[in-house]
A and B are shown apart, each in its own frame.
Chain A
Amino acid sequence: MLPTPYVKCDYSKVYEPSEDSFLLLDALEEDKQYLQQKFQNQLAVVCELGPGSGIVTTFLMQNEIPIKNSLYFAVDINPWALETTLDTAKRNSCEKYFMDPVRSSLCSSFRNNEIDLLVFNPPYVPAEEVPLIPKSKEYIDEWLDLALLGGKDGMDVTQIVLDNLNQTLSTKGIAYILFCARNKPEEVVKLMKKKYNWDSKLIVHRKAGWEVLSVYRFYKDI
């Protein structure tokens, strides 16, 4: 088993690493060799959306996933998450890796077709709507809601990312996205094939309390 980053931060401001975060780490560990082969001898541009505490991006750096020569971008709306991600990277002696946090709404500020590996643990909890962006950095509870609530079927935010995958990812690009059962992932992946010709593979799934969580890999074999 690969080492897990040491995380110590204020969980009133950022999402505390939980079953879903750990499942995502397991999926990336499971696919470590696949990713290494896919990107060997080149540069890999990695982007994590919604890093929260920074545990996933730090895990990727620590374990040189997908490859040693990677650039890491951690993208979040929540300013606390970006500061915490930097801090978590530091606590785990990852300063020697290339990582920049970027405050942005999903991938809207990234040049099209430049990201090789996209990782996303989205706000997947079904809710009436996705909360608005808090007006101030100090409205701490509102920032946390934003990390959880995903609107109808919990899919409002994830669907934006999926619908933009063709523009976001490079020709070799791969995405790992976490779902809960109420997101109806089996239907989502079928539609991704039909609408955009994205293949997908269920990498890991696990019952976590009353939720069933799964991580799918989206890819195109070329």
Chain B
Amino acid sequence: MKFLTTNFLKCSVRTCDTSNDSFPLQYDGSKCELVQDESIELNPEFLLNILDRVDWDAVLSVAADLGNTTLPPNKPVFSSTSVDELNEDEQAVLRDLHVLLVQTNIVEGEMKCKNCGHIYYIKNSIPNLLLPPHLA
């Protein structure tokens, strides 16, 4: 599963919906295996659209879980929405974000809900958010 997907997944337990701790999930860095997948090419316009939408605090939280604490505390802002008008520094930031959000795959791993503590697993790159019958 791609890093960016962590920005959309919350705990499946219905009663956790009212808690701010059910998103993002907390990824266990020691158990997550990361692989870079370069099949999606950098598309600056796509990435700018993504950035509009992402919850940056959740990006920071998951990145820190996975051992990356070098991200800027605030969501990067760009001088233009037109790619050609971005300066070199901005283009470098976009490249870094592409590597992190789109090309970083969690192929094996586990994560838990900070509210209820339920643990979910990622196997063969596929996250499993299905609950056991007693919690569903």
Interface residues of A (CB under 8 A from B): 41-43, 45, 68-69, 71, 73, 77, 79, 82-83, 86, 95-98, 100-105, 108-112, 114, 132-133
Tell me whether B71 is interfacial, beta carbon within 8 Å.
no
Using Cβ atoms and an 8 Å threshold, which residues of chain B touch A105? 12, 130-131, 136
* Known contacts A95-B39, A96-B39, A111-B23: A104-B130 contact under CB 8 Å: yes
* Beta-carbon contact of B14 and A110 below 8 Å: no
Tell me whether B89 is interfacial, beta carbon within 8 Å.
no
Tell me whether B36 is interfacial, beta carbon within 8 Å.
no
* Beta-carbon contact of A109 and B41 below 8 Å: no
How far is it, in angstroms, between the C-alpha of A45 and the C-alpha of B23 when the chains are bound?
Answer: 18
* Known contacts A42-B52, A43-B49, A104-B12: A109-B129 contact under CB 8 Å: yes
**In the complex, how many angstroms separate the beta carbon of B62 from the nearest chain A beta carbon?**
13
* Beta-carbon contact of A43 and B14 below 8 Å: no
* Beta-carbon contact of B1 and A108 below 8 Å: no
* Beta-carbon contact of B8 and A103 below 8 Å: no
B6-38: CB near A (< 8 Å → 1, else 0) gives 011111101001000001000000000000000
Interface residues on chain B, number (Cβ under 8 Å) = 33
Interface residues of B (CB under 8 A from A): 1-2, 4-5, 7-12, 14, 17, 23, 39-41, 43, 45-46, 49-50, 52-53, 102, 124, 126-131, 133, 136
Question: Which of A69, A77, A110, A133 has a CB less than 8 Å from the CB of B49?
Answer: A69
* Beta-carbon contact of B9 and A110 below 8 Å: yes
Using Cβ atoms and an 8 Å threshold, which residues of chain A touch B2? 98, 100
**In the complex, how many angstroms separate the beta carbon of B85 from the nearest chain A beta carbon?**
16
Known contacts A43-B52, A82-B126, then 15 further A-B pairs from the complex at CB < 8 Å, ordered by chain A residue: A45-B53, A69-B46, A71-B8, A71-B50, A95-B39, A95-B40, A96-B41, A97-B40, A100-B127, A102-B5, A103-B126, A105-B12, A105-B131, A108-B129, A111-B8
Which of A73, A101, A102: most chain B CB closer than 10 A? A102
Using Cβ atoms and an 8 Å threshold, which residues of chain B touch A132? 133
Using Cβ atoms and an 8 Å threshold, which residues of chain A touch B128? 103-104
How far is it, in angstroms, between the C-alpha of A111 and the C-alpha of B58 when the chains are bound?
Answer: 12
* Beta-carbon contact of B10 and A109 below 8 Å: yes
Using Cβ atoms and an 8 Å threshold, which residues of chain A touch B4? 71, 98
Question: Which of A41, A96, A133 has a CB less than 8 Å from the CB of B130?
Answer: A133
Question: Which of A98, A102, A109 has a CB less than 8 Å from the CB of B126?
Answer: A102
How far is it, in angstroms, between the C-alpha of A13 and the C-alpha of B133 when the chains are bound?
Answer: 22
The 20 listed contacts between A and B (C-beta, < 8 Å) are A42-B49, A68-B46, A69-B43, A77-B130, A95-B39, A95-B40, A96-B39, A98-B2, A100-B2, A102-B1, A102-B5, A102-B9, A102-B129, A103-B129, A104-B128, A105-B130, A105-B136, A108-B12, A111-B10, A114-B8
Using Cβ atoms and an 8 Å threshold, which residues of chain A touch B50? 43, 69, 71
Question: Which of A79, A86, A110 has a CB less than 8 Å from the CB of B8?
Answer: A110
